[in-house]
Amino acid sequence: MTVPYSPDDREKVVAKLPAILRQELKVRAAELGVDIKDAVTEGVQAWRADDVERVPVDTTGGSSFSTYLPTGLYGEFKNDCKQRGIPFNQGIAQAIRLWLDTHHSPRRTAARPAWARRLIFGNQKGGVGKTATSSGVAQALAEAGNRVLLIDFDPQGHLTKQLGYELFDIESPSLAKHMLGEAKGELRELLVPIENGAFSGRLFMLPACKDAFLLDAKLATSRFVRIKETALEKALEPLEKEFDYIVVDCPPSLGYTMDTALYYCRTREGETSGLSGIFIPVLAEDSSADAYDMLYDQIQDLSVDMEVEISMLGFIVNMYDSRKGYIATSSLHSWKEIGDPPVVGVMPELKEQRESVRLKQPLLSYAPDCEQSEVMRAIARKVMS
């Protein structure tokens, strides 16, 4: 029987829980508009009311987690854990897991649109953070309950390698071969799941292939692709109904390959403007501004030539450090002054991103509480709003 506890009479509870579980609780509570302390209270009450033996939760590497339970419930719960022969940390982890399993993400059950929303991350300049931001935003979208496909469209394959996978070799099927009509089988057979934490089962990647270096030249001479700009869309079309978002990490190029990505993120007939489009990662320095001018011209030329609308969703100022002085701060101010597109995120230059790359782990599972992860989530929320 559940005891009627007063919601205003609470005591602090401290436990050690894995970062993945804490983050999943944080995201789910936010999605459902529930305070974390109320979610944990519901989980504890449900756990106490049902004394079935539960599957243990992996609490390895747990760190401090604190919340507030109604006064009296904490002591009773600790006694229950003792009677069931499990540590308190395991009990609270099981209670949270029970709440998560019985309070599903509203985004998982929402009706999927007729086609996936298409987000590309592009800039002609290399080293501005296209891979880091496309990967991080894709992780944040998946963490929030969406099915997301992350595509490594850069033949250098940084995204593929940073997530711990190998590039397809030149003789293997690949996205490039599907674009050129040279591949057998289905493209979905090439997808690999990113099985980490809060986005497990919802985030997939299409790895890069070394033959993509030849894609520009082959598109120029291919008889299979009558309209070059449509090649990426035709290849990905069979996958679109399986995902809520398709996120593309583009190459540092202004050639045909980039044209296919820009055409792919255009506003389609019947689609609201701004749902799909391009994010532009930049640095707080002058060379990024020069590169943006070239990309802007390419977007405008393609829009006119193909009679399409391509939404520029915003700048992401990457690796920002105000300690670098006037160049950094004045450049950030200049990006914000443009106004359209707006600056949608300022990514601080911190060690967590570099560490996650070195360890070949997704940032949001390696360091879910770091400032960079929070910026990725903020951008994802703007996408979903």
C-alpha to C-alpha distance for 40 and 29, rounded to whole angstroms: 10
For residue 238, the model assigns a pLDDT of 92
Whether 261 has a pLDDT exceeding 90, the answer reads yes
Least confident of 75-79, 197-201, 220-224, 339-343: 220-224
Q: Is pLDDT larger for residue 263 or for residue 20?
A: 263
- Nearest-CA neighbor of 376 among 144, 55, 34? 144
For residue 91, the model assigns a pLDDT of 94
Other CB atoms closer than 10 Å to residue 74's CB: what's the count? 18
Q: pLDDT class for 225, splitting at 50, 70, 90?
A: low
Residue-range domains of the chain with CATH: 10-104 (1.10.1220), 109-384 (3.40.50.300)
| Mean pLDDT, the chain, whole residue set | 87
C-alpha to C-alpha distance for 59 and 52, rounded to whole angstroms: 20
Express each pLDDT in 129-183 by its tens digit.
899 999 999 999 998 889 999 999 998 999 999 999 999 988 889 998 999 888 8
Q: Which residues contact 76 (CB under 8 A, 6 or more apart)?
A: 3, 48
Express each pLDDT in 52-93 by its tens digit.
788 888 888 788 888 999 999 989 999 999 999 999 999 999
Whether 6 has a pLDDT exceeding 80, the answer reads no
Whether 5 has a pLDDT exceeding 60, the answer reads no
For residues 209-226, average pLDDT: 72
Q: Which residues contact 354 (CB under 8 A, 6 or more apart)?
A: none
Provide the H-helix boundaries in 229-285.
Answer: 231-236, 256-264
For residue 45, the model assigns a pLDDT of 94
Q: Percent of the chain having pLDDT more than 70?
A: 93
For residue 1, the model assigns a pLDDT of 36
C-alpha to C-alpha distance for 209 and 225, rounded to whole angstroms: 20
What are the CA-CA distances from residue 345 to residues 113, 133, 147, 217, 275 (Å)? 26, 10, 23, 35, 17
Question: Is the distance from CB of 28 to CB of 143 less than 8 angstroms?
Answer: no
Least confident of 81-95, 114-128, 304-318: 114-128
Whether 106 has a pLDDT exceeding 80, the answer reads no
For residue 110, the model assigns a pLDDT of 47
For residue 9, the model assigns a pLDDT of 79
For residue 113, the model assigns a pLDDT of 61
Output the six-digit token pair for 6.
């007063």
366, 372, 377, 381 alpha-carbon torsion, rounded to 10°: -170
Express each pLDDT in 324-337 by its tens digit.
777 788 888 889 99
Whether 362 has a pLDDT exceeding 90, the answer reads yes
For residue 133, the model assigns a pLDDT of 96
Whether 223 has a pLDDT exceeding 70, the answer reads no
Whether 243 has a pLDDT exceeding 70, the answer reads yes
DSSP H or E segment with residue 64: strand 63-70
C-alpha to C-alpha distance for 101 and 78, rounded to whole angstroms: 22
Output the six-digit token pair for 360.
């070949």
DSSP H or E segment with residue 176: helix 175-180
Whether 211 has a pLDDT exceeding 80, the answer reads no
